[in-house]
Amino acid sequence: MILGVPMVGFILAPLFQKSPQKWITLGKTGDFEVGKTVNVTFIDPSPLPWAGVTAKSAAWLRRASETEFIAFSVNCTHLGCPVQWLAGAELFMCPCHGGVYYKDGTVAAGPPPHPLIRYEVRVVNDEVQLKSAAIPITTTL
């Protein structure tokens, strides 16, 4: 019986650990054009040793002005499908269930219950950095 307590702790401990977050450099400020939204990829800060290609994550990054950058999760808040940026319409579109978001990440139409998740972004020494986290999605079934 006493052997069961460590086993329960081993199984439940990962559920209570915070996933690590760290600032990841995405590029120099000059790499991003004012007014443009681009897809950027980065490595998850806490990949498991066997994660392989699944350790790669992505975000939509917009240079709003000379000094302001905004980043959104690529995952729809409905069921986590990857959203696409439609530059001509200035909308994010989820192909799974027709979710649509405005360029500021707020819901325009469809089933998404929340705006797109935003990442923290900063500029340090002319480098654009994103504060990474585990894949941020909010789902409601």
List the CATH number of the domain containing 64.
2.102.10.10
92 has pLDDT over 50: yes
pLDDT tier at 77 (50, 70, 90 boundaries)?
very high
pTM of the model: 0.77
Q: For the chain, how many structural domains are there in total?
A: 1
d(CA 33, CA 79): 31
Residue 3 lies in a domain: no
d(CA 82, CA 41): 13
Residue 101 lies in a domain: yes
pLDDT tier at 139 (50, 70, 90 boundaries)?
very low
Give the CA-trace dihedral at 89, 91, 97, 98, to 10 degrees: -40
Q: What is the pLDDT of residue 141?
A: 45
Residue 127 lies in a domain: yes
Residue 4 lies in a domain: no
Domain extent, residue 119, equals 20-131
Residue 137 lies in a domain: no
Residue 64 lies in a domain: yes
Please check whether residue 128 is in contact with residue 36, taking contact to mean a CB–CB distance below 8 angstroms. Answer: no
Q: What is the pLDDT of residue 18?
A: 52
